[in-house]
Structure 1
């Protein structure tokens, strides 16, 4: 194998890949402790958390996310091995076992020193990027207090517009269209869904985009709109229906009623589409990597109930999950970042007009609503 070929499959200087995710309960007894982890510091009573956790109890107290991460873990290992990339893959969660700090401790004990991190969130925003980097920094600080030092972590760039993320969503949308009665497919509209967040967080998401303002803003919505457009255009090309209406909508709002969040909600959107005469709607969850609880409950349960009550036919596209194309995209991003760290200038794959995201988040990127945000790894 030539030096050039070796370079194409070398992950150096990285010696491990960490899959970092949200985590979820794996039994009824886990639900309230899990929600306590998620809401730590907010002072929410256990009784209220038990009420909030009812949608988990509908599924036996088990969130699908951990099993789906196990599937992705295996897909990543299989893809890396098949491509000849010598990179062990570990898994840690923010809010449930395997906990991030335990996984980092394991990485250090196994002799790893330079870790590249895949977060299961594709877009720029506080909870999907900066908070994970804060978690990494806090975990490294805890390990340092224990005398475990020398571990460096870098986060992979946002992958929302990578072909390995977009192309599976196109295919899954086409599959969902086929689930509708044949006579409804040409007129079916697309509702691209993602997690609603407070408008204040949306307004400050991403890198600075307006030098005159001197502050970041708007990346969360802009990136989702870009993915929705890319998927809609490719679906139109595949189906020959160029004028298929589509809209970016939101789900899973959880904040206080007086705080503005991104709208419209998917359920309100379905009602509006029905009133406008839409023959059918395909819900396309572009904001989520896997079919976890917010997809299973908010779309497959709650939104479907609304649609059935309206008499509006709906279908739901699958998320990317452990699709081999997504696993290959992660490999591509790892090798791209590794080459960059070695001083090379690799091809940075991205579809659409926004281009590839930055490797290093700039100072002030995706700040929290609260002031005095903690340190964030990967880097400022």
Structure 2
């Protein structure tokens, strides 16, 4: 039986001095030019050098702790990040010192793919290697893009956002873009349901079905790679231009690819996409991501209980259950291979 739950996330700066070293951690080994880091650094400094992500994670953890306590489940929750403090290596070391021998891991991504899933396995491997002998066994919980609580939280968030629009609107789902080569690295045919773009499309369809929306779009945001590398398209800003050309009067954006309203959501959507819509004279509203919804804490606890009682996965799609791994082992051979870095 597990002794604890490790909440594993991306991380973000919490003061201006954190911003540059955080970005260097995120982009290490990826050949991102300094001028791109300069640009993104200004995004963070525009918010006081503080990303919302750590505060959002801590609030969600508190909600999960309360949900566990209410159910009589004695499972302390630890918090660790990939790219900024509290670093996962330090957190797993603290778990070992506290006598934790086995823990479940909740990664703050609902999807498959390299960045959304397998990189969390690499985080687990790296943290256990850093601790060495005595590192706890770490079992990563499954992907949850098609969990009914995830879908219903987004659907209600869209309904709330749509109340800000007077008249007709187009529903547009967004998710973080990735290189097409990375999206296609989903492994053998039997693991095809792990492909990130397919899962995003499925989640969007499920939310739209809950809403009774027959027409909607799935687009991408937050591209950061070199122009010569093909990424998933269309980009949200280009899509707003296209919708405007068709006479669409307003949009409601749903960030279905994200679990919280962190900086990429508030910058790329609330700042850049909203400004673009204003420039085009289009109505604009954005649905909230679900981490602050009470259903999100219940979702996490359901995933924990699936493991504790070996209960069937509660899900709305026919996609294969994926993402559960032990000690960072990939869930399928060849699944979600790291993207090939371009040589400069």
TM-score band by shorter chain is over 0.9
Could you say which residue in structure 1 is the equivalent of 2:154? 169
Aligned pair 1:354/2:335, yes or no? no
> Which residues of 2 match residues 204-243 of structure 1 at below 5 A?
204-205=185-186, 208-210=188-190, 219-236=195-212, 243=214
**Is 1:29–1:61's contact at 8 Å kept on the other side of the alignment?**
yes
CA RMSD, 1 decimal: 1.7
> Which residues of 2 match residues 109-258 of structure 1 at below 5 A?
109-144=97-132, 148-181=133-166, 184=167, 187-205=168-186, 208-210=188-190, 219-236=195-212, 243=214, 245-258=215-228
- Of structures 1 and 2, the larger Rg is shown by 1
**How far 1:359 sits from its partner (Å)?**
2.9
> Which residues of 2 match residues 88-107 of structure 1 at below 5 A?
88-107=76-95
Q: Residues 279-315 of structure 1, C-alpha deviation per residue, up to 9 Å, x if partnerless?
A: 2110000000000000000000001111111101110
Task: Determine the C-alpha separation between the residues in 1 that align with 2:320 and 2:250.
Answer: 33
Q: Residues 39-60 of structure 1, C-alpha deviation per residue, up to 9 Å, x if partnerless?
A: 1224556565233311111111
- Name structure 1 gaps, 5 residues minimum: 1-12, 237-241, 341-345, 372-380
Task: Determine the C-alpha separation between the residues in 1 that align with 2:34 and 2:201.
Answer: 38
> Which residues of 2 match residues 1-380 of structure 1 at below 5 A?
13-42=1-30, 44=32, 48-144=36-132, 148-181=133-166, 184=167, 187-205=168-186, 208-210=188-190, 219-236=195-212, 243=214, 245-340=215-310, 346-354=311-319, 356-357=321-322, 359-360=324-325, 361-370=331-340
Task: Determine the C-alpha separation between the residues in 1 that align with 2:282 and 2:254.
Answer: 16
SS of the residue 2:290 aligns to: coil
Aligned residues between the structures: 336
- Name structure 2 gaps, 5 residues minimum: 326-330
Task: Determine the C-alpha separation between the residues in 1 that align with 2:240 and 2:128.
Answer: 45
